[in-house]
Structure 1
Amino acid sequence: MSQRHSVLKGVDLTLSPGEVVGLVGENGSGKSTIMKILVGELAADAGTVTHAGVLGYCPQQPVVYERLTCDEHIELFARAYRMTHEAERRARRDLYAALGFERYAGTRADRLSGGTLAKLNLTLAMLANPQVLLLDEPYAGFDWDTYLKFWDLVGQRRAEGRSVLIISHFVADEQRFDRIVQLCEGRLCAGRTAAP
């Protein structure tokens, strides 16, 4: 018989429109568990999760089909989001250009480098221009140029009034966030408005 282990001990987190929030904490503090509950991958023992509009989710480990190309992934996810062909075409073009990996459009996922796979993972999360974007360690594997492009995309989402939650082990660029909250042993233990 497996023993139950309580990871989270009551977390109350609200994202406002146009807000970029960083959620930090040590390994094992419950960051990824929160994300999985927010997207419905795990059921919470108690409490509720409410959101308005489309959710975009970028898991820490990309969930892709090895034999599908980048274009085929985008087409598959666009159908799941019920996007029109025009919206899909525009989003594909814009995200390939923004992240600089259009030359891999016809490349199978199992032949992508770790950094390019991370770009595909982020593209799939942002494809439908979701109202709430949940990112779990989204820039792991990015080079500096892609890291800066990532923040440009986040800035655009903020300007459009969309919410972004970024989970990370640590925050290097505090000024890029509106608010940073810390998770300690399953609870939100500290929060601060990021420095201007």
Structure 2
Amino acid sequence: MRPDLCLEYAGRRYGLRGPWVLRGVDLTVAPGRLVRVEGANGTGKSTLLRLLSGIDAPSEGRITGRPRTAYVPERFPPALPFTAVGYLTHLGTVHGLSRTAAARAAGEWLERLGAAAYADTPMARLSKGGSQKAAVAQALLAEPELLVLDEAWTGLDTGARAELERAVAERTAAGGSVVFVDHDPRRLAGLPDATYAVRDGSLVPCDVAGPLPSGPHVTVEAQGPPDGRLPDDVRRAVTSAEETAPGSYRLTVPVPRSDALLRALLAARPPWHVVSVAPRADTPGSGR
């Protein structure tokens, strides 16, 4: 297993005498971890992600345990001299894939993200949404050990947003790490292993998931492998988990976290079988 990625008293400023954007940042990202970064605009979130992705080097401190990393920036430059599939194939070879494997992966990710119809469209002619799909696809081509996402869901349609969340679950289930920033507090709600806020140039740990949402709940009946062990990200999302038979569970989850729970079950390895989803008996309007 790869070593942890560690930032040790890392700081970053632009120019020899520029103001410090970040300073004294200590952060460890272990394999298989999902980490959320929060903070107001201009606080240094993107700078932190650029340090993690290796695009920027720290002005002080150090970073150790560098994994194979892919990055989706907040703004992706679309005016490149390639078609969408040509660009992705080229990036796949840069990431170490053979040209055949890169072309295959490019086609698969364009299909998954709903962009196969404009595979042969020049990058400069893609819409904002199409350009963002290409940005996401290039980061996922070679199954990175660390995936860094800076507002990566912005500009994607509903299907592509769901597919990116599924890809995040797949990466962490396979032992990869994901660090992400997103303006929507509901994004992957309840699933991060750790949440940090960037404040006044420092990185501050937050309560991992916060209180579980109140209000309507649903009950999910799920069948897993014979050992019956619930994935950790499933346990974090639910209010309660009752084992009804070896490997079978009745899970109670707040409605805002139900989609994330279902994705976590389906992305588990081996995947869990979702038997049924129904309103909880005491949920208003459930008819029971």
TM-score, normalised to structure 1, is: 0.91
Contact 1:25 1:169 in 2 (8 A): no
The separation in 2 between residues aligned to 1:12 and 1:47, in whole angstroms, is 9
Is 1:178 equivalent to 2:154 in the alignment? no
Correspondence for 1:140 = 154
Correspondence for 2:27 = 13
Is 1:124 equivalent to 2:143 in the alignment? no
The alignment partner of 2:103 has SS state of helix
The 4+ residue runs of structure 1 with deviation greater than 4 A are none
**Percent identity over the alignment?**
30
The alignment partner of 2:121 has SS state of coil
The separation in 2 between residues aligned to 1:2 and 1:189, in whole angstroms, is 26
Residue correspondence of structure 1 range 149-188 to structure 2 within 5 A: 149-173=163-187, 174-188=189-203
Residue correspondence of structure 1 range 74-93 to structure 2 within 5 A: 74-93=88-107
1:34-53 CA-to-partner distances (Å, cap 9, x unmatched) read 12222333221211112343
The separation in 2 between residues aligned to 1:102 and 1:51, in whole angstroms, is 36
Uncovered stretches (5+) of structure 2, i.e. residues with no partner: 1-14, 210-235, 238-288
Residue correspondence of structure 1 range 104-115 to structure 2 within 5 A: 104-115=118-129
- Code of the aligned partner of 1:27: N
The alignment partner of 1:175 has SS state of coil
Pairwise CA distance, 1:82: 2.1
- Code of the aligned partner of 1:155: A
Structure with the largest fraction of helix: 1
Correspondence for 2:11 = none
Contact 2:89 2:99 in 1 (8 A): no
Contact 1:179 1:193 in 2 (8 A): yes
Pairwise CA distance, 1:179: 2.1
Larger Rg: 2
Pairwise CA distance, 1:3: 5.5
- Code of the aligned partner of 2:199: C
The partner residue of 2:39 within 3, 25, 41 is 25
The alignment partner of 2:105 has SS state of helix
Pairwise CA distance, 1:94: 2.4
Contact 1:56 1:132 in 2 (8 A): yes
Correspondence for 2:61 = 47
Distance 1:188-1:170 versus aligned 2 partners, 3 A rule = farther
Is 1:192 equivalent to 2:220 in the alignment? no
The separation in 1 between residues aligned to 2:126 and 2:24, in whole angstroms, is 39
1:142-194 CA-to-partner distances (Å, cap 9, x unmatched) read 12222111111111111111100002345223223222211111112232222
Contact 1:22 1:171 in 2 (8 A): no
**Equivalent residues, number:** 196
Distance 1:86-1:176 versus aligned 2 partners, 3 A rule = farther
